[in-house]
Amino acid sequence: MAWITDRIDRIFSNGEPLHDPIAKPPGEVEVKSTTCYMCACRCGINVHVRDGEVRFIEGNPNHPLNHGVICAKGSAGIMKQVSPARLTQPLRRKPGSERGAGEFEPISWDEAFAMLESRLRHLRATDPKQFALFTGRDQMQALTGLFAREFGTPNYAAHGGFCSVNMAAGMIYTTGGSFWEFGGPDLQQSKLFVMIGTAEDHHSNPLKMALSDFKRAGGRFISINPVRTGYSAIADEWIPIRPGTDGALFLAITHELLRTGRFDDAFAARYTNAAQLVRVQPGHPDDGMMVRNPAAPEVNPDAPLNAWWWDEAAGRPVAAWSEGVQPALFGRYTMPDGTPVATALELLRERVAECTPAWAEDITGIAASRIAQLAAEMAEAALDQAFDLPQPWTDWWGREHDTVRARPLAFHAMRGLAAHSNGFHTIRALAILMSLLGTIDVPGGFRHKPPYPKQVPPGVRTAKSWDDIKPNTPLAGSPLGWPAGPGDLMVDDDGRPMRIDKAFSWEYPLAAHGLMHNVITNAWRGDPYPIDTLLIFMSNMAWNSAMNTQRVRRMLTDKRADGEHRIPFLVVCDAFHSEMTAFADLVLPDTSYLERHDAMSMLDRPISEYDGAMDSVRVPVVPPLGQCKPFQDVLIELASRLQFPAFTRADGSRKFKDYTDFIVNYETAPGSGIGFLTGWRGADGSKSLRGEPNPNQWEQYAKHDCVHFTPIPEAMRYMRGVNRDYLRYAKENGWRKRDDPVVIAIYSEVLQKFRLAAQGQRPGRQPPAELRERVARHGDPLPFWAPPLEHGAVDLGKFPLAAVTQRPMAMYHAWDSQNAWLRQIHGHNRLHVHPRTAQAAGIADGGWMWVESPWGRVRCVAQYSEAVEPGTVWTWNAIGKSSGLWGLHPHADESRRGFLLNHLITDELPGDAGTLSNSDPVTGQAGWYDLRVRLAPAGAPRDDEAMAGDHYADVHGEPLPAAGDALALHSETTWPRHSAPQPAPGQHPGMHRVSSGAAHVLQYFAGRGRRGKTTEQETPT
Ligand code: SF4
């Protein structure tokens, strides 16, 4: 350690104290408000800048979201600014160098724009679908989506297909809203909180603050999760569950509620379609659809209201919502014309008849008695602890209510449910369970956040035919949308997919967020067609945002017979030198979140709260590093050069100078008064939500903590799906196209339309023969549980364990391994294994082992943990890195001892319909939590089929060092390893780096290493 002391002595030899807490800080200190982006929760922060350097970040006490609270990530934003992974100038792959070798040369922005402009201009004028834009967890999808639409390509999506589209689609196709940005638990008024499958990355600080108050007020918190970390660790009760089985649990609870009659029958009858009459007439083209009442007007063909109820007292059908009628919720009946019908709830009751707690026990691993008790506890909270809040409101049918019925039972769920190939129906089952207990947009239950709830389904539709994709013309329709039936799919006359990721095709009909994880595989294969240019923003698709990472990386470098890459041109915009940028042909250096403007818009995913609309912005607190340019400005510049109609005046000149100008002046339609930001609109800034553009809007946001809140009137704060005044208000402000009500879909006619098409019972579009059975099975109007698709392709006897990842509270996606403070918390990851499971496999605590799936294997360290159900193993996501990237030393712990579970996950699965993406057959959500593995101690002789074809293993099953890997592989390293590329030209030097043998220390002392100056020193002992 002498070298360290010596080094420190030299650094402080000028006699300056390390820190004098009472001294006035030297230099000019300025405190600026902006919005955090160290994760997607968007807390308000105050950034202390001294002499141009970020020196301290604190939570903004005036911010309505976090009230001054900041987490470890948020305060570590300072290290992002000085990260050695920062890219600082546009780069081009060196002519003659191989893609992926990481050999770049700097170019100017003029050259970069010229290169992009000519390539994109040609594609737009000839075949716009040859351009694909895919982005990661950015917060600007309203802008990126607009860019793609104006370009005329359908090939656009963000990260949702890999993240949690099942949560969005399963909930929105049922209730019109979902969790996190769209809605959440009202813990202030709740008594029982049930959290399922949630790590700490969604709504992090606000949810933690609410949980703290909830627990202090005596609320009971139950967490259902295979792993007891994070939120689960502070739960009153942790109920371990096997991954991918949550749907069985929800159906069993529903079984219990219906069996005992313990549900909110009044809510179900009036605000859901539970009492509506469904035709039960197999072979009829309308079998399984609601019987329509021709005498009632049909205001919205995609969400019609002209249904029938059965009036049990009168023994006849009556128009739904007839005054004074208590409709039958259960039963099968015959219409006067002889049509056999059943109520939707009757069909659900029949569906769950066999889904007993004992049935679910075998699947979930939760005792049947506990499942029954859980159902009783939920009913007790929702029904017996209900109270009336004296809040008058008027429903859509004009009935005035003096109170709102509170149901103090709240749920929250996220990716743990979503990232399974059976996730859509699982989440439908949860949404229905919540609806039966009446906990939708009521005090103490789930509550929507403006602009939600949307219609079921929302009114946005995609392009639908090749005629909608024309050269030099904006796409006719949206690249992403919400199909209401087969007619809204993006397929050609032969039923073939029209998008490169096959979203909105018969394979994944309700793919509301696209399938980012299919893009590289499909483009490589040229299925459904080849593309020319793939522009990736802020997404690590060559590493943790891919399944079967090794294969995907090979596809990126693979060439056709003519020597051209199968994906000819790869453009990557990112702030950091990552696994993805290493494959780029053109690298565009993005800014950090402290160097740019951003809008968290009501047109996108705002930060609204239950009682009002809230949006926020980021404003730069320091200038961009080097030549970094915000991606938003890149898009505005390209859109202007390519003369997209929305970005060009009639005389051909550009409409917007830059991104800030665009945000202020863009309107959804000429004169609509609706733009990206809702605050300080109108020429004098006096209007909210709607109003003419205000040239001083950014200044107003900057003056007011970068946030704007518009409270909605009190009478509009609950029951918003059927609240007449709210629905009108939402329509007036552009949040929805219609003001008709949201009827919660216990029974989904949208799905039934797909099933009927697959059964060949209806005219119109029908799936290709090989997909009929799949569409008919998964287009079930009622939720069902089936094992994840992967289980059908794997020998579960050989691969008995489920393997999942979760995101740690101290890191977000792949970003934070470049952060010197945060990597002190997580420098590498281990596989967490229950001691009984590990011991049965002969693996010691801290021992090296192999984790094998049918698709690949990794070598890593075991960590014993009793906080995991014994049939599951898990690790932190994206801490393991490829050597030498993210500004890390080639021998850094992240690559030497860290590993990535994605190497084990397959991107495709064989099945009856051929080989298809390992994704949910309804939404295309990546099924990356369906992984099955087995464990074996490292070093033990192996002799089985898992070793076959492994070119890097010696006879004992241990890997040999890769050619050119300076680190001789020994028993203390993970596998697979990748050779380290050179740092990119201009990569920010960041900090002093001190080396001693295998030890490498990054030093940063604020104020001593000024931005832009090279300070790297190697000091071997
Ligand atoms: S929760 Fe997320 S947004 Fe909030 S301070 Fe932490 S990192 Fe920043």
Strand runs (DSSP E) across 784-847, as ranges? 801-806, 831-833
Task: Kindly give the distance from the C-alpha atom of residue 206 to the centroid of ligand 1, in angstroms, as a whole number.
Answer: 9
| pLDDT confidence band for 952 (50 / 70 / 90) | very low
pLDDT over 60 at 964, yes or no: no
Mean pLDDT over residues 855-868, rounded? Answer: 95
Q: How many CB atoms lie within 10 A of CB 626?
A: 17
Provide the Cα torsion 188, 194, 200, 204; round to 10°.
-10
Ordered structural domains, the chain, with CATH: 176-451+742-747 (3.40.228.10), 598-716 (no CATH), 789-954 (2.40.40.20)
Q: What is the mean pLDDT of residues 369-387?
A: 98
Distance 460 CA to ligand 1 centre (A): 31
Q: Is the CB of 618 under 6 A from ligand 1?
A: no
What's the 546 CA to ligand 1 centre distance in angstroms?
Answer: 25
Report how far ligand 1's centroid is from the alpha carbon of 809 (Å): 10
pLDDT band for position 650 (50/70/90)? very high
pLDDT band at 235 (very low <50, low <70, confident <90, very high): very high
How many CB atoms neighbour CB 95 within 10 A?
A: 7
Helix (H) or strand (E) segment spanning residue 214: helix 204-216
Q: In the structure, what pLDDT confidence band is assigned to residue 957 with cuts at 50, 70 and 90?
A: low
Better-scored residue on pLDDT, 134 or 205? 134
The answer, yes or no, to whether any atom of ligand 1 lies below 6 A from the CB of 43, is yes
Amino acid 949: pLDDT: 40
Task: Give the separation between CA 138 and CA 676, rounded to whole angstroms.
Answer: 16
Contact of 550 with 903, CB cutoff 8 Å:
yes
| Atom of ligand 1 minimally distant from the CA of 70 | 5
Nearest in space to 270 (alpha carbons), one of 295, 307, 238, 298: 307
> Whose Cα sits closest to atom 4 in ligand 1?
43
Rounded to whole angstroms, the Cα distance separating 587 from 91 reads: 5
Cβ of 129 less than 6 Å from ligand 1: no
Q: Which long-range contacts (CB under 8 A, 24 or more apart) does 265-268 make?
A: 265/329, 266/438, 267/405, 267/435, 267/438, 267/440, 268/329, 268/345, 268/435, 268/436, 268/438, 268/746
Q: Is 71 in the pocket of ligand 1 (CB under 6 A)?
A: yes
Confidence band of 1011 (pLDDT split at 50, 70, 90): very low
**Ligand 1 neighbour 73 (Cβ under 6 A):** yes
Task: Name the residue at shortest CA distance from atom 8 of ligand 1.
Answer: 74
Ligand 1, from 33, 34, 39, 821: best to mutate by most atoms within 8 Å of Cβ? 39
Q: Which helix (H) or strand (E) holds 123?
A: helix 109-126
DSSP structure string for 573-632: EESB--TTGGG-SEEEEPPPGGGS-EEE-TTS----BTTEEEEEEE--SSPPSTT---HH
Distance CA 705, CA 46 (A): 9
DSSP secondary structure string for all residues of 830-875? -EEE-HHHHHHTT--TT-EEEEEETTEEEEEEEEE-SSB-TTEEEE
Closest CA to 40 of 68, 65, 67: 65
Give the C-alpha distances (Å, rounded to integers) separating 775 from 48, 176, 910, 936. 56, 23, 16, 39
39 lines ligand 1 (CB under 6 A): yes
C-beta 993 within 6 A of ligand 1 = no
pLDDT of residue 782: 98
Smallest CA-to-CA distance from 134 within 603, 710, 539, 583 is with 539
User: Is any ligand 1 atom within 6 A of the Cβ of residue 42?
Assistant: yes
Q: Which atom of ligand 1 is found nearest the CA of 75?
A: 5
State the DSSP string of 236-275. Answer: SEEE---TT-HHHHHHHHHHHHHHHT-S-HHHHHHHBSTT
User: CA-CA distance, 103 to 588, in Å (whole number)?
Assistant: 15
pLDDT (average), residues 567-587: 97
Q: Is the N-terminal amide bond of 976 cis, ω within 30° of 0?
A: yes
Average pLDDT of every residue of the chain: 92
Distance 810 CA to ligand 1 centre (A): 10
**Does residue 771 register a pLDDT over 60?**
yes
Q: Taking a C-beta distance cutoff of 8 angstroms, is the pair 924, 515 a contact?
A: yes
Q: Other CB atoms closer than 10 Å to residue 786's CB: what's the count?
A: 16
CA distance 437 to 269: 12
- The pLDDT score that the predictor gives to residue 941 is 57
Nearest ligand 1 atom, CA 41: 3
Residues in the chain: 1021
Position 139 scores a pLDDT of 78
Taking the CA of residue 72 as reference, the ligand 1 atom at the shortest distance is: 6
Ligand 1 mean position to 43 CA, how many Å?
A: 5
Assess whether the C-beta atom of 809 lies below 6 angstroms from ligand 1: no
Q: Which of 140-144, 970-974, 1000-1004 has the highest mean pLDDT?
A: 140-144
Confidence of residue 982 (pLDDT cuts 50, 70, 90): confident
Per-residue pLDDT for 26 more than 90?
Answer: no
Q: What pLDDT digit, counting tens, does each position of 809-825 carry?
A: 888 888 888 899 999 99
Nearest residue to 862 (alpha-carbon basis) of 798, 936, 932: 936
Tokens of 30: 């300025």
Q: Tell me the pLDDT tens digit for each residue of 74-119.
A: 999 999 998 999 999 999 999 999 999 989 999 999 999 999 999 9
For the cut 60, the answer to whether the pLDDT of residue 375 exceeds it is: yes
CA of 424 to the centre of ligand 1 (A): 29
Ligand 1 in reach of 205 Cβ (< 6 A): yes
Q: Is the pLDDT of residue 392 over 50?
A: yes
The whole-number pLDDT of residue 947 equals: 43
Beta bridge partners of 536: 134, 572
- At a CB cut-off of 8 Å and minimum separation 6, what does 355 contact? 248, 251, 252, 254, 255, 785
Taking 90 as the threshold, does the pLDDT of residue 791 lie above it?
A: yes
- Among candidates 843, 845, 897, 842, which has minimal Cα distance to 866? 845
What residues have CB less than 8 Å from 949, skipping those under 6 apart? Answer: none
Q: Rounded distance, CA 170 to CA 467, Å? A: 30
Q: Of all residues in the chain, what percent carry a pLDDT higher than 70?
A: 91
Strand partners, 744: 272
Residue 83 Cα to ligand 1 midpoint, Å, equals: 18
Work out which ligand 1 atom sits closest to the CA atom of 65: 4
